[in-house]
Amino acid sequence: MYATSADWSFDQVADFSEMGPKMAASMKAAGAVHWHFVVTSETTARSMMVWPDKETAHKAIKMFRDDAPNQNNSKITSTCEGEIVAGF
């Protein structure tokens, strides 16, 4: 299993009552095992995904990250990723 995370900044928080289910469906279709989006302030958030492997992760996140500026004027401010070695 492989995990990726990104910190985001944007002009204002999107309406996740509509956007959330659409984003979840897109992440599932791209191969994500788990996906979480945490709003950390009025203008920031963190996305966290678990993937079956690094190849699936990189293929999917490139597509999502490349499209990010078109969605709610969002910008990625930092990322991290790696193999999952422990958890529950």
Q: Is the pLDDT confidence value at 31 over 70?
A: yes
pLDDT score for 14 = 74
> From 3.90.650.10, 3.30.70.100, 3.40.50.2030, 3.40.640.10, which CATH number describes the 2-83 domain?
3.30.70.100
Q: Is the pLDDT confidence value at 71 over 70?
A: no
Residue 41: pLDDT band (50, 70, 90) is: very high
For the chain, domain boundaries: 2-83
Count of CB atoms within 10 A of residue 51's CB?
Answer: 25
DSSP string, the chain: -EEEEEEEE-SS---HHHHHHHHHHHHHHTT-SEEEEEE-SSSEEEEEEEESSHHHHHHHHHHHHHHGGGSTT-EEEEEEEEE--S--
Ranges 7-11, 27-31, 66-70, 84-88: which has the least confidence: 66-70
Mean pLDDT, the chain, rounded, equals 88
pLDDT score for 16 = 77
